[in-house]
Amino acid sequence: MHPISQFRSAAYLLTLAAILSSFTWRNSQAQISDEPSAGDANVDVVEIAPEKVSVEGVVDDSKIAKRLKDIFESTGWFKDVDVTSKNGFVTIEGLADSNAHSDWASDIATRTTDVIGIRNNLEVDSTVKFADSMVVVGKSLDKQYRELLVRIPFLIAGLILLCITWLVSKLIHFGLDRLLNSRKGLRSSLKDLIKQLSSITVWLLGFLLATVVVFPGMTPAKALTVLGLGSVAIGFAFKDIFENFFAGVLILWRYPIEKGDFVRCNDLFGKVEDITIRNTMLRKTDGELVVVPNAHLFKSNVEILTNRPKRRVRITCGVGYGENVDRSREVIRDAVASCTTVSAPKSVEVFADEFADSSVNFEVAWWTGATPLEIRKSRDEVIAAIKAALDQEEIEIPFPYRTLTFSETLKMKGVLEQSKNSSGAPETANGYAD
């Protein structure tokens, strides 16, 4: 199996694990993001629920409001900010430049001494600031770049592991090839199945190890757990891929289809060039390559034309009704048996088949090679030999003709010359002849 095909086949399962892992992470993040925040318009009041409410020595409301307002104005994140406090209940109004800073203001207020509850009426500035956005983008890119620099050693180690995986896959493939070739009883398709499955297993293990190295938080146990939990969802999402995969395994394991066979499946006809886990490559007789999903072959009736080295070929040959049937049969049989492309001359069969419109038809059957080219060559030689033999024996091979019978004598109108009248009948006075 080609290394790229092995790489792709092993990558399918790893891709499924990554997709499901990403899906699980997003769900958890969505649950977190669904929690109401202080800056949410639908949640106006945040309850602090202090353990105790002070009665004596309570900080004055004006001091609380002034302290919070000074803090908010010093950050530069708020505009027209106004803070009021009444009996420890704080109301914040103004304009915040982001939701995160609005939530931050609520958090600062809740941790202020003698604040019992807050009402966050801050509005978030929706004005698009291109310069600020570019600063954020730059910081994000810088962070990603630094993380990439940190992970470069891990990426190099992962690539080294993939190279080792490729080398191990080649060695195992070479060893299995020598071992399986020494076993004469195994079909070639079964040998291919064992080698392909072993290569996929090696690549799968190599990918798991490389993933653990590149992403230290991921372990093989976690990856297998994700695959186990998501097997049902993966089965529905990638039904066709798994269907073709298992169909390919069954075809290579049990079906008598080998490389080099000529097969016919519905309207497809061609030579099998390769059988992989997912697809079968058919080369049509006109040179076109057809990639057939294995599930299509598994579900349809497949004719294997070269399952045996010889095939029976049949043609129809007709002789005139005036010929001797037994003699014609012997001439045809001897002509076919003399052909070099006929495998077993003694197995040539000639049977009178039907009374046709213009001839007595014979069914002629013989054995020859199984490939389409061998059949065409043999049919060409046999037809030429039969024609020559019947001509030599002066046996008629009739072409279609029709005999018309009339109940009355027909008269032909025209001028007939006496010298050209083959019957010798004299011409009548009125130009009609009997």
245-303 residue pLDDT tens: 777 777 777 777 888 889 998 888 999 988 887 788 899 988 889 988 888 888 888 88
Instruction: Classify 129 as helix, strand or coil.
Output: coil
pLDDT at 375: 92
The two three-digit tokens of residue 59, written as one number:
């900080």
pLDDT at 43: 45
Contact of 368 with 310, CB cutoff 8 Å: yes
Task: Give the length of the chain.
Answer: 434
d(CA 66, CA 319): 121
d(CA 137, CA 379): 76
**Beta-strand (E) ranges in 111-178?**
117-124
Closest CA to 300 of 347, 268, 330, 336: 268
d(CA 109, CA 70): 12
Question: Phi and psi of 255, rounded to 5°?
Answer: -75, 145
pLDDT at 365: 95
pLDDT at 227: 58
Q: Cα dist. 34→27, 49, 92 in Å?
A: 10, 22, 23
Longest dimension (CA), the chain: 157
Closest CA to 362 of 348, 378, 377, 344: 348
Q: pTM higher than 0.75 for the full model? A: no
pLDDT at 235: 58
Residue by residue, pLDDT tens for the chain (434 residues) are 454 454 455 555 555 555 545 444 444 444 444 444 444 444 455 556 666 777 777 888 888 889 988 898 898 888 889 999 988 889 999 998 888 888 999 889 888 888 888 899 988 877 766 776 788 788 888 888 888 888 888 888 889 988 998 998 888 888 887 887 777 766 676 677 777 778 888 888 888 788 778 877 777 676 666 656 555 555 555 566 767 777 777 777 777 788 888 999 888 899 998 888 778 889 998 888 998 888 888 888 888 888 888 999 999 999 999 999 999 999 999 999 999 999 888 889 999 999 988 899 999 999 999 999 999 999 999 999 999 999 999 999 988 777 777 777 766 655 445 445 555 544 444 444 44
The letter for the amino acid at 68 is L
Instruction: Classify 319 as helix, strand or coil.
Output: strand
